[in-house]
Structure 1
Amino acid sequence: MKDGFLKAAAAAPKIRVADPAWNALEICKALDSCYAQRAKLIVLPELCLTGYTCQDLFLQERLLEESLEGLQAVLEHTKGHDALTFVGLPLEKDGKLYNVAAAVQDGRILGLVPKQNIPNYGEFYEVRHFAAGSREVSEVDVLGQTVPFGGNLLFSCRNLKGLVVGCELCEDVWVMDPPSTALAKAGATVIVNLSASNETVGKDTYRKSLIAATSARLLCSYVYASAGDGESTQDLVFSGHHMIAENGSVLAEAARFENETIFSELDVHKICHERRRMSTFVPENTEHCVRIGFTLEKEETRLTRTFVQTPFVPSDEALKKERCEQILSIQAHGLKKRYEHTGAQTAVIGVSGGLDSTLALLVTARAFDLLGKSRSDIIAVTMPCFGTTNRTYENACRLAQTLGAKLVEVNIREAVQVHFRDIGQDMEKHDVTYENGQARERTQVLMDLANQSNGLVIGTGDMSELALGWATYNGDHMSMYGVNVGVPKTLVRHLVAYCADTCSENEKVLCEVLLDVLDTPVSPELLPPEDGKISQKTEDLVGPYELHDFFLYQLLRCGFGPAKIYRLACRAFEGIYSKETIGKWLKTFCRRFFAQQFKRSCLPDGPKVGSVAVSPRGDLRMPSDASRMAWQKELDQLPE
């Protein structure tokens, strides 16, 4: 439960149709396997105490009595266990039969939730046996307990902030207005579904998309357990297709036809953060709901779910290619609109032979193609100075030439030397003034060339640099339109690689240049080279960008604090970076992120391309002088 994680399980015991005593024993075995994995929320299938396929046997008094005896056996088995467990059974109330989910914990029935939408189409004939449940809560006496009965039950955890569980059954999620919508509006962060969904060709695909979409629409976790082996195959087959989803992503999915139990950890705090930031998620008056409190034993949930190292970059190759093409189109169309609006004639780009300026030049070429403008109106400016190496210089020149841009060289060594003489800067003192003086001179050159040619200066800096403040204020920090402002460094690399992979047969030279750019260490090249090679490697100074992009995503997209980010990073990068290394760079990230907000507060325009952005006009409204001390408290507790 530490950091808001809750281990959930979905299981389907191998049942016998119409044999509640046997089924209760199998349910208890399934519960034991869940207890062994420290599951705190366990969901079993619809009508699992009797079997979903009993048909007219549901009307037999003997089956209903046996079902209650089976529930009593399950209750006895749960004594001493704090897991909140949902078990399906038929239950008679006021002369009518209901298909219900019993929420049980530690030998007690906390509540009974009836199925509200009773299907009577296709292969389903439930109306023959079951009445539709009401959302209104009443009471029913079951096994010596007076128990709340109704759809508007919310099971609220007393000692895990934000954990509120709502329940629906099978068909309920397939209808136009599912009960889960009202439950989520009333505060449920987790929805469980006890189901008996039979298999037909293609139904599994639709079912998976339905559960994932429901969890996304309701900003919730969703635990779905479906009937499996043991159900009657007289006319239907059930596969035990369990799923655990969270905010649109399927965290765990059972292999069909194997009666597999699945586990994953729900991130309750992440769900709460999503709801806080989504202004269109509007809670409703909860007076109609009955909250039932329960308590879980506090313990550190062992994580089994994975956390991708590069959250901005899809792991699936086909999706990655699709995403790269989409991002390049967003960037190019954003720039295209700026030219249509301003009537500017040229684009002026400082090309260094590095990743960021390479991507900016590729995007500008696309934009000019969209505009029907000649690429010769793209002025690619190389500005060698004290730190420029032959490799990056040659790559910058070859890139401009192969793309059809106009290459202009402005050697800024003499201008910088004069400037340093004017301000009394020692040429041998390689400090921040030495570095930033070059960056600002380059920006001045670009701005003046743009004025000469009726052009716009195209910014090259990426979002990761802006998060860290790794940009010279009023230097490379400034432009007239920043095409990379919404692209993190890890994604910049994949975009350039995509462009290399999609080069045509006639673009072999371009492909070669792009591949060499990808192989070049990231550097601002502001310090003199050593033996002709880059001496100033950015990641040696501020840390690996793959770590910083991971930190950035977890901080801004998920709202996590340093301790939780550290925990997730240690799991994601296990075997790659030591815990000490992760802690060191996380401290660097947080320190720079807070200290450098003033640079982000006056960013040039540029397009947002993903779910995270740092523009002060969009995603990140943050005071430039905000204190980081609340975050520092957690950072100080990280291991050295």
Structure 2
Amino acid sequence: MFNYIKVAVAIPKLKVADCIYNKQEIMSVIKNAAEKKVKILTFPELSVTAYTCGDLFFQNPLLASAEKTLAEIAAETKELDMLILIGVPVLSDNQTFNCAALLHKGKILGLVPKTLLPNYSEFYEERWFASSDDLIQEEITFAGQVVPIGGDLIFAAENFPNLKVGVEICEDLWGPIPPSSYLSLYGATVLLNPSASNELAAKPGYRHQLIAQQSSRCLCAYAYASAGIGESTQDTVFSGHSLIYENGVLLGESESFSQENQLIYADVDLELLASERRKHTTYMSHLSRAHAQKFYREIKFSMVEDELDEFKRPITAKPFTPADDASLSKRCHDIFMIQTTGLARRMEHTHAKTLVIGISGGLDSTLALLVCVKACDFLNIPRDHVLGITMPGFGTTDRTYQNAVQLMKSLGISTREISIRAASLQHFEDIGHDPSVHDVTYENTQARERTQILMDISNQTGGIVVGTGDLSELALGWATYNGDHMSMYAVNAGIPKTLVRVLVNWVASTGELDQKASDILLDILDTPVSPELLPPDENGNINQKTEDLVGPYELHDFFLYQIIRFGFSPAKVLFLAEQAFGNAYSRETLLKWLKNFYHRFFMQQFKRSCLPDGPKVGALCLSPRSDWRMPTDASSRIWMEEVEKL
């Protein structure tokens, strides 16, 4: 199960004040949920009676029928290993409470009354109900069972890691400090909200904002079940708009105004939530505040994990890039401006006269060059402050050389061409290396010669060397130590290779560049990724393709995100990769490159321990000064042994 749990929201067809009919529809949805192997199911507010009963809540027959109906539902679900929330009115302490009843295997685990009662506009709840704050008793007899009651209940699965369930009801979420804020601080990872929120023109968007924000603040999963169209009466119309969020990410949404019963469900990642809570040290610091001192009763129940037959959860193969075009464009703009502003600030602070950058005609140096140009525009200084240097070597092809030269010319920067062939051959002679032996010495000599040229010219021109290496290369250690590994400001250090590609394509499509420059960018995007340190093939084409050697960058970026962002195990990363990439890669191929990722990631930490400065652009960063502090000599044994078993 990898600590996933299937959470569902039900929107049954209801009739106002008809408990018998409502029970039939509720049971129909429960049976459907059982077939889907749902483990947690929440119905809307007061779903046994319907929410819009008004003064009928003063009628003893309705209250008695509701209690009887809940007892029957409990009895009929005693074989189900499912936590079921059903809304029901409850009499206690000479008052009526708007409650959520939590059922499991026929037992009523607890009753959670609503705390904040709306009494404005179309709402008059204080007329019929009392707040959970008005409770006197902590335990009552209801539906033939002795049941805990209160807003201080958290439902904890004894043998299901990280599963603790908290409940708040409708208006509770709209308050300045919702009960779910406290519930999550005291351990609740899944928050359920049975609601009866009538529909207004702008309300769906506000619901999205509210639930997305609360699930983010509470680092929780949030299942919101809203009453369907059967509640519509007099001046109010209900749509059944229901949502499932996890840490700000939408996992499921109902169809509004449906005339049929609905069930939406998703697999919630409890391990992800637990990982995020451990990482965010300010999360639990709120408990030390005097105003947050509350006490909760933990109600234990036993739940068995099911196999993941149907995995209901969006898993993207490109975790660093948004799927929709509008979000993608905004994200690219923001990232590009972070890079630009960071470089411009460094240029100002060091009083640099030039930005010195090596241009190879490849993706990384192209993005870095675009950032340099934009930084000059940002500072209102001529673009000739950028000094682009192309340094042909033994592996340089005509395609990349021409792209490098033409792009620099099109962007209007200063340029120089310095071949590294003679200097490299002299170095081979100095150290006694046979130039026909194309080993690591042959390759790294060229990378270090290029870096030395850039460093010396930056001294010569009063400038700084702008690094071009990206986040994916840092993760894999795919950089020559004290070669392209080093610079004075590394503008791409926080950007994975898959995102570098997206950013270059975005710049090409914005219309800011002329057509020739855009065409060059598109050709660069179509060029295989290569360090070009080995001679071309007999046709003059690139003979050294990075992804043939270290693996596809789309896989490595996916591995990087799951492993570093959330700390997932190799088995879970493999499972997620199989879900995300489908039939694009075999299991054997995924395992091959996953093993390679772990091996390289651990072996190459020494390169990340002494990185130059570079702007952090996303939640994942490998700089030792901000996000990633790993011992250089840490053993990979635990991870590699698990990969071998897989």
Per the normalisation by structure 1, the TM-score is 0.98
CA distance in 2, matches of 1:427, 1:356: 28
User: Equivalent residue for 1:45?
Assistant: 44
1:36 aligns with 2:35: yes
Contact 1:21–1:69 under 8 Å retained in 2: no
User: Equivalent residue for 1:478?
Assistant: 486
User: Equivalent residue for 2:629?
Assistant: 621
Contact 1:46–1:170 under 8 Å retained in 2: yes
After TM superposition, the structure 1 stretch with the greater mean CA deviation from structure 2, 114-123 or 624-633, is: 624-633
Between the two proteins, the alignment pairs up a number of residues equal to 636
1:216 aligns with 2:210: no
Q: CA deviation digits over 1:289-343, x for unaligned, max 9?
A: 1001111122223312121111111111111111111111111110111111111
CA distance in 2, matches of 1:503, 1:433: 43
After TM superposition, the structure 1 stretch with the greater mean CA deviation from structure 2, 3-12 or 294-303, is: 294-303
User: Equivalent residue for 2:322?
Assistant: 314
User: Equivalent residue for 1:58?
Assistant: 57
Question: Which amino acid is 2:40 matched to?
Answer: L
User: Equivalent residue for 1:268?
Assistant: 270
CA distance in 1, matches of 2:519, 2:144: 78
1:383 aligns with 2:369: no
Contact 1:345–1:454 under 8 Å retained in 2: yes
CA distance in 1, matches of 2:584, 2:357: 36
1:448-463 matches, within 5 Å, as 448-463=456-471
Q: Which runs of 4+ in 1 moved over 6 A?
A: none
Contact 2:410–2:516 under 8 Å retained in 1: yes
Contact 2:37–2:306 under 8 Å retained in 1: no
Q: Secondary structure in 1 aligned to 2:165?
A: strand
Give the 3 Å change call, closer, same or farther, for CA 232–412 of structure 1 in structure 2. closer
Structure 1: unaligned runs, 5 residues or longer: none
User: Equivalent residue for 2:297?
Assistant: 290
Q: CA deviation digits over 1:3-56, x for unaligned, max 9?
A: 110001100211111111221121111100000000000000110000101111
CA distance in 2, matches of 1:176, 1:556: 34
Alpha-carbon shift at residue 213 of structure 1 (Å): 0.9
CA distance in 1, matches of 2:391, 2:364: 15
CA distance in 2, matches of 1:515, 1:404: 19
1:607 aligns with 2:606: no
User: Equivalent residue for 1:300?
Assistant: 307
- Which of 517, 523, 537 is equivalent to 2:530? 523
Alpha-carbon shift at residue 232 of structure 1 (Å): 3.9
Q: Secondary structure in 2 aligned to 1:574?
A: helix
CA distance in 1, matches of 2:29, 2:69: 14
Q: Secondary structure in 1 aligned to 2:272?
A: helix
User: Equivalent residue for 1:350?
Assistant: 358
User: Equivalent residue for 2:249?
Assistant: 249
CA distance in 2, matches of 1:53, 1:354: 64
Question: Which amino acid is 2:114 matched to?
Answer: K
Contact 1:135–1:150 under 8 Å retained in 2: no
1:547 aligns with 2:555: yes
Contact 1:482–1:605 under 8 Å retained in 2: yes
After TM superposition, the structure 1 stretch with the greater mean CA deviation from structure 2, 624-633 or 219-228, is: 624-633
Question: Which amino acid is 1:279 matched to?
Answer: T
1:636 aligns with 2:636: no
CA distance in 2, matches of 1:498, 1:621: 33
Question: Which amino acid is 1:457 matched to?
Answer: V
CA distance in 2, matches of 1:14, 1:553: 42
User: Equivalent residue for 2:446?
Assistant: 438
1:58-207 matches, within 5 Å, as 58-134=57-133, 138-207=138-207
Alpha-carbon shift at residue 135 of structure 1 (Å): 8.7
Alpha-carbon shift at residue 353 of structure 1 (Å): 0.2
Contact 1:23–1:70 under 8 Å retained in 2: no
CA distance in 1, matches of 2:574, 2:49: 46
Structure 2: unaligned runs, 5 residues or longer: none
Q: Percent identity?
A: 53
Contact 2:504–2:521 under 8 Å retained in 1: yes
Per the normalisation by structure 2, the TM-score is 0.97
User: Equivalent residue for 1:510?
Assistant: 517
CA distance in 1, matches of 2:301, 2:602: 39
Question: Which amino acid is 1:585 matched to?
Answer: W
CA distance in 2, matches of 1:445, 1:412: 9
Q: CA deviation digits over 1:202-229, x for unaligned, max 9?
A: 1111111111111011110001111103
Contact 2:167–2:180 under 8 Å retained in 1: yes
Alpha-carbon shift at residue 428 of structure 1 (Å): 1.6
CA distance in 2, matches of 1:9, 1:135: 31
CA distance in 2, matches of 1:524, 1:191: 50
User: Equivalent residue for 1:233?
Assistant: 233
Q: CA deviation digits over 1:509-560, x for unaligned, max 9?
A: 1111111111100000000000100010000110111111111111111221
Q: CA deviation digits over 1:355-381, x for unaligned, max 9?
A: 000011110011111222221121111
After TM superposition, the structure 1 stretch with the greater mean CA deviation from structure 2, 375-384 or 84-93, is: 375-384
Contact 1:503–1:510 under 8 Å retained in 2: no
